[in-house]
Structure 1
Amino acid sequence: MVKHLFNSHIDWVGGRNSIGDLQAGALNEKISIPKTMDGPGVGTNPDEMLLGAASTCYSITLAAMLERNDILLEHLKVDAKGIVDVTKGTFTYEKITYHVAMKLTKESDEVKAIKLAKRAESSCMISRAIQGNIELETIIRIEK
């Protein structure tokens, strides 16, 4: 069995509206609560990082699945949108929608590429970690 260990370190001084420093691998970023949630809006925040982790994982998983199935990808764009609901002071990450645009070579099987793009949503490690807690949706477009 192979296990991979990842580490992060946060320096945070003060209360809710302070600004912290996050270091995790190559990531070195300021962190705070976003302005839309009445914070200072400096650097990134957990909502953006979760969306970034999910969309990064989805993109890498899809690229690998296409490659393993001999579907040649010229270009992949994934725009992700996250919805966080605030009800009675409770913040709940509700939904992530991936807007996927794939440009394939002329020889590639578009039908199979679309099936793989849908399957990648439930195949990546981050999607599996949030499964049952956050709704996932994938909207796929093949570019010519």
Structure 2
Amino acid sequence: MTVTIYHNPECGTSRNTLAMIRQSGVEPIVIDYRKTPPARTRIRELVSAAGLTLRQAIRQKDTPYAKLGLAGTSLSDEQLLDAIAAHPILLNRPFVETPLGTRLCRPSELVLDILENADIGPFTKEDGEVIIDAEGKRVTGSGSA
């Protein structure tokens, strides 16, 4: 199974997602999208495959979103792609692609829906939130990180 994660190693959600992928027995292709930004067409493919609009894939927190004036609803996809090209950190993360689908994994446990082996055993996020308990059951009501 080929799994690709568009990853930001400074992001806890991204690190948790990567850890779940690895705990499933898969060593993914890890792309630090800040250092190797995906091309415009690739961004469009990822966003579309995840069932999102480009605007939904834009990260506002801890980015130059407000400073760049991206809140305006009149901006076209091309303008948003221009902003992402200039500031890759604007692309929300982590996007994960597997043969079972593509997701923006926020919260990180969404990755379990697209892994062939989602039975990863107990898993606790960096912040202490239990995602899968000692019996291997997914804990419901998990909030996003």
TM-score, normalising length: structure 1: 0.26
The structure carrying a bigger strand percent of its residues is 1
**Largest Rg, 1 or 2:** 1
